Structure 1
Amino acid sequence: MAVELHVTVEQLPKLLRHDTKIKLAGVDVDGILRGKLVSKKKFLSVAKDGFGFCSVVFGWDMHDMTYLRELKISNKENGYRDIIAVPDLSSFRRIPWEDNVPFFLVSFFEPEGATLSACPRGLLRTVADKLEAVGYHAMAGAEYEFYQFRAPSASSGAPTSERNSSSTAKFLNENPVDALPSLTEGMFGYSLTRPVHNQEYYYGIFDACEKFRCEVEGWHTESGPGVYEAALEFGEIKEMADKAGLFKSVTRSFPRSEGPKSFNSLRYVVKSLGSKFGITPCFMAKPRQGLPGNSGHMHVSITGPSGLNLFYREEKDQNPKWPDIAHLSDFGRHFLAGLLDGLPDIMPLVAPTVNSYKRLVENFWAPVTVSWGLEHRAASIRLIAPPTASPKATRFEIRVAGADANPHYVLAAVLALGWRGVVKKMEIEVPPLGKGEDVGGSADQGERLARSLGEATERFMRKGSVAREALGDGFVEHFGGTREHEVRLWNEAVTDWEVRRYIETV
C-alpha cells in the first residue's frame, strides 16, 4: 500500500532544489483538473497560505460555458472574484512523462478562510474529519471501466499510429459517432492476448500510474469492444479520491509521440489531439447503445483506533434478520442502513450527467433500485464479508456509481450517508436482493432510483432532502444548479435520432 507523504513548508527548498517550475491543479465540480504552471519562486511564496485563483472554474461547465443561471460562488455580481487555492503538500508527486516536473494538488477556500462549499477535495475532507475526530478512519478503493477509441486518419480512413492533425474531436465533427472505431473489436473480458495488440499503451499506463502515485492493483480487458478496467490500490479515502481523479486524467490524455514520457496529465478533457497511439479513453457512462456501460465502483470500509475493521463482526450472529448480515457488525449495519436510506437523494453525485441514466437501465448489469446483498453484483450495494472475504476485507462496494462521476463527491456522499446511519443508529429497512433475483424485478422490494438527471436533481435539491442534511445547503444549491444547467442544455438539444426518426414522417 502506498504511504502518504508528509512534506512541510520548511522541507520544500531542499525538495525542489533542482527545479525551476511547479504544476498546480485543483478539482472542479465535474472532476476536471484546473491548474497552471508556476515558477518555483512563486510556489514557495504561496505554499503556506495559498494564492488567488479565479472562481470562474466554479462558474462554468466542462466546456467553459458560464452557467445559464449564475450561482453563488462565481457570478457577475461578485465580479467572478478570486477564491483561495492552498497547495496540499502531502499530494506531492512528480510527472514522469513531463521531465519529472513537481506536481501538487490544491484545495479551494473562501477568501475569509472557510472551505469552499463546492470544492470536491474540501467536501470529502469535511466529512472524513467527522470520523477522524472520534478516532475512526475511512478506507476506499476504486474500479473504473472505460471504452477506448482510435480515430481513423483524415486522409485514408485507416487507423493511424502517427501523430497528425486527426483528433477524435475533428473526426466526430465530420462523421457520425457510430463510425468511431473501437480500440479492439469483440467481447474479450479478462483476455491475456487482447492487450498485446496495444502493448506499449497497455503497459505504459500501468507503469506511468505507479510512478505518479496512482498505483493500479489490477488492469485487464472488460467485456466490450476496446473496454479496459482498472482497480486502483486500496488506501485512505481522501488519498484514494485524489488517485482516482488523477488516474482518469492520466488515461484520458495518455499517448503522445513518445509514449508515457510526454503526455500531459492536466489534459482531462476527452477531446485531446491525436498522438502516437491515437487512442481516446472514454469514461462516459454509456458510450455505445446496446452494450454495457462504464461503471465507477467504489469500495469503502472503516477502521477503528486500533486499526481493526469496524464492519466485521467477530462472533457470527446466530440469529440474524437475514443470513447476509451474519458477519456484519452493528456499526456496519447502521452504516448500510444510512446508505440505503439516502441513496435516492444523492443520485446526481453518482450519476452526474444526462448520459449516466442510459447506463442505469434494467437487464444491463447495472443497479436501478435501492438494493443490496451479500456478494450480489446486481445490487446497488454489494456487501463483501465472510465467509467469502477475510475479516479485514469486509466492506461495501457501491455499484450504482458510473465512471463519469467525480470520485471526491461519490466518496464524500457515501461516507456522509453511512456516518449519518451510524449516528442515528438506523436500521436496515430493505431486505437483501436474493440470489437469482433480477434487480428491478418483482421480488426486488427496493425503491426505483431516478430515471433521469432532471428527476434526480429535483429530489437532490428539494427542501429537507437527505443530501442537504448530510452535505449542507451550500453544496447542494451549487452542485444542484450545475446539474440544472446540464438538464437545460439537454432539453434544448436536437439529436440525430430525432432528425432521422421524424424528418420525413411528421
Structure 2
Amino acid sequence: MASDTKVSLQNLPRILADDDAVKVAGIDVDGQLRGKLMAKSKFLKIAEDGFGFCSVIFGWDMHDRTYFRELAISNAENGYRDLIAVPDLNSFRRIPWENNVPFFLVTFYDSATHETLSACPRSLLKRMVEKLHKDGKGAMAGAEYEFFQFRAPEGKSAATFLQENPVNSLPSLTEGMFGYSITRPVVNQDYYYGIFDNCKKFNCGIEGWHTESGPGVFEAALEFGEITQMADKASLFKLVVKSLGTKYGITPCFMAKPREGLPGNSGHMHVSVIDKRNGDNLFIRSEPDPNPPYPDLKHLSDLGRHFLAGLLEGLPDIMPLLAPTVNSYKRLVENFWAPVTVSWGLEHRAASIRLIAPPTASPKATRFEVRVPGADTNPHFVLAAILALGWRGVEKKLEIAVPPLGKGEDVGGSSDKGQRLAKSLKEATEVFKRKDSIAREVFGDEFVEHYAGTREHEIRLWDEAVTDWEVRRYIETV
C-alpha cells in the first residue's frame, strides 16, 4: 500500500518494525526493474550509504546478453565492477500483491567517483530537473500507456507458446475493436479492477482506465504529478500490470507494434513548467495575445513558446529515447494515428506535439502532449529528453520555426512542413550520436556514447536475424 509517512533514517526502523524483508529495484536503460529481496537487517545497514550492485545491468541487454561492443560503465576489463545503489527513502511503498512487502527504488552511483551514474535513468532526469530548480522552476507531468494483452492456452506461458507456434496465433485477451467499451472489461473483471485497485495502493494511481481500439487493448492515464515522481510511477505501473497479468495467466504487451495492420501502443507524455514558489503553471498567458505568430499560440506564454521551439528543434536528435527498439518504427508510420514528422498544433491528435490550451482547455491545464513515444519507452529517458529540449529552447529563447498543422491536415501530407522523423532505429541512432547532435549538448558525451552503444547492439541483433516473413516469402520462390 502507499504510505503518507515521510520516511527518514531516524524513523525507518519503526516503519519496518513488523517486517522481515525489503524489496529494492533500480531501473536499467531499457526501463526494466532490476532488483532483489533482502533481509531487513541488511537493508537497515545499507539504507544511508547504499550497497554494491553489479554493473552488468548496464553492460547487457534486456535478455541479459552482453553488448557486442563493450561500453565504459561495465565491461570485462573492469570486471563488471560494482556500482553503488542507494535507496531512495522517498520512494517507499508496499507491494499489495506480495503481502505488502516494503519496496524502495534505488539510484545508481559510480563506485569510483561517488557521482550519479551517467546512464542511470533516475539520475538523468534528476539532472535535467535541477536545471529548472536553479531558476526557481519545476515541472509537472502525466503519462498515458496503451498495451495489448494476450492469453496463451491454459498451462502455457506466452513465451513457451511462441517457441512452438507462429506469433499471430497467440490469442488476444478479447477479440474485436471496442474502444471505450463499458462491457468488455467485465469479461476479465477481476484482472481489470485488480490493476486499478493495486495501482492506487502502490502509489501509481490511474486517473482514467478503459479499453482502446484493438483486440485486447487497454489504455491507462496515470494521475499527473511532479515529473520525477511521475517517471517512477510510470515504471511501477508496468510492474503492477505485468505482476497482475502473471497471476491471471495474461501477458500484457507494451511493445510499440505487436500486430501488423493495427494501431500500435503509444506512451504519450504530458508536460508543463511551474513556478516552484506557488505552483503556478508558467505556460499560461495572463492575457490573450492580440497578435500571435500563429493563432494556435494566442493563449501560450512566451516561456511556453520557447519551450515548444526547443522541442521542435531537438526532436530529430533524441529519437532513440522516444523510439528505442527496432519495433518502435513500425508504429511510426503514416495513417495509423502516429506522428511521423516534426509537427505541432492546437488540439491536433496526429501531430508530434499537441498543444493543450484555451479555448479548448482551461488555462490551468495548459501543457504539451508529446505523442511520439511508444509504450516501449523508458519513461525517465522520455521525460528527461522532453525537459532537456524544452528548457534549452527557453534558455536560448528559440523561436518556433514550423507552422502548426491545422485541423484536418494530415501529418506527412503536402501541408506538413515539418522534417520527417527517422524511419528506423539505425537512422535515429546515427543522428543521435553525431558530433554536433543536440543530444550531446543537453546530455553530455558520456551518456550519448553509452546509450548509442546499447542501440547499436539492438540494431546488430536485428540485422543478423532471419524473420518468419523472409522465410515465408523466399523459401521456394528465389
TM score, norm. by length of structure 1: 0.93
How far 1:199 moved relative to its partner?
0.4
Helix, strand or coil: the match of 1:433?
Answer: coil
Match status 1:227 vs 2:217: yes
The alignment partner of 1:143 has SS state of strand
Asked whether 1:314 is paired with 2:286, we answer yes
Aligned match of 2:108: 108
| Paired residue type of 1:486 | E
Q: CA deviation at 1:4?
A: 7.4
| Residue deviations 1:57-113 (CA, integer Å, cap 9, x gap) | 000000000000000000011010001100000000000111110000000011121
- Write the mapping of 1:295-314 to structure 2, written as runs, cut at 5 A: 295-304=266-275, 305-314=277-286
CA 1:68 to 1:400, structure 2 compared with 1: closer, same or farther past 3 Å?
A: same
Q: Distance in 1 between matches of 2:278 and 2:227?
A: 18
Distance in 1 between the 2:6 and 2:351 partners? 39
SS in 1 for 2:92: strand
Counterpart amino acid of residue 219 in structure 2 = E
Instruction: Give every structure 1 segment of 4 or more consecutive aligned residues whose post-TM-superposition deviation is greater than 3 Å.
Output: 2-6
SS of residue paired to 1:9: coil
Question: In structure 2, what is the equivalent of residue 268 of structure 1?
Answer: none
Corresponding residue of 2:134? 133
Match of residue 270 from structure 1: none
For structure 1, the residue ranges without an aligned partner over 5 or more in a row are 154-163, 257-274
Distance of 1:444 and 1:23 partners within structure 2:
49
* Residue 451 in structure 1 maps to residue 418 in structure 2: no
Which residues of structure 2 form unaligned runs of 5+? none
> 1:161: which partner in 2?
none
Secondary structure of 1:296's aligned partner: coil
Percent identity between the aligned chains? 75
Instruction: Give the secondary-structure state (helix, strand or coil) at the position aligned to 2:258.
Output: coil
TM-score by length of structure 2 reads 0.98
Aligned equivalent of 1:42:
42
Deviations 1:348-401 (A, max 9, x none): 000000000000000100000000000000100000001111111100000000
Deviation at 1:38, TM superposition (A): 0.8
Which residue is equivalent to 2:204?
A: 214
Residue type matched to 1:282 in 2?
Answer: C
Partner of 1:262: none
Specify the alignment match of 1:267 in structure 2.
none
Note the C-alpha offset of 1:255: 3.7
Q: Distance in 2 between matches of 1:37 and 1:195?
A: 34
Map residues 260-339 of structure 1 onto 2, 5 A cutoff. 275=247, 277-304=248-275, 305-339=277-311
Within-5 A mapping of 1:332-371: 332-371=304-343
Residues paired across the two proteins, number:
475
Mapped partners of 2:274, 2:419: distance in 1: 30
User: Which residue of structure 2 aligns with residue 415 of structure 1?
Assistant: 387
Q: Does 1:9 align with 2:18?
A: no
Secondary structure of residue in 2 paired with 1:79: coil
Q: Which residue of 419, 427, 448 maps to 1:476?
A: 448
Match of 1:264 in 2: none
Q: Which residue of 2 aligns with 1:179?
A: 169
Whether the 8 Å CA contact 1:5–1:92 is kept in 2: the answer is no
1:457 is paired with a residue of what secondary structure? helix
Q: Which amino acid aligns with 1:25?
A: A
CA distance in 1, matches of 2:471, 2:245: 36
Partners in 2 of 1:338 and 1:6 — Cα distance?
A: 37
Structure-2 residue corresponding to 1:437: 409
Q: Is the Cα–Cα contact under 8 Å of residues 245 and 252 in structure 2 kept in the other structure?
A: no
1:143 equivalenced with 2:144 (yes/no): yes
Quick one: which amino acid aligns to residue 441 of structure 2? E
Q: Deviations over 1:419-455 (max 9, x none)?
A: 0000000000000011111100110000000000000
Would you say 1:21 and 2:11 are equivalent positions? no
Give, in whole Å, the separation in 1 of the partners of 2:195 and 2:176.
22
Q: Distance in 1 between matches of 2:360 and 2:3?
A: 28
- Tell me the amino acid that sits aligned with residue 175 of structure 1: N
Hey, what's the Cα distance between the residues in 2 that align with 1:24 and 1:287?
31
Find the aligned partners of 1:51 and 1:69 in 2 and give their Cα distance. 28
**Equivalent pair of 2:3/2:92 in contact (CA under 8 Å):** no
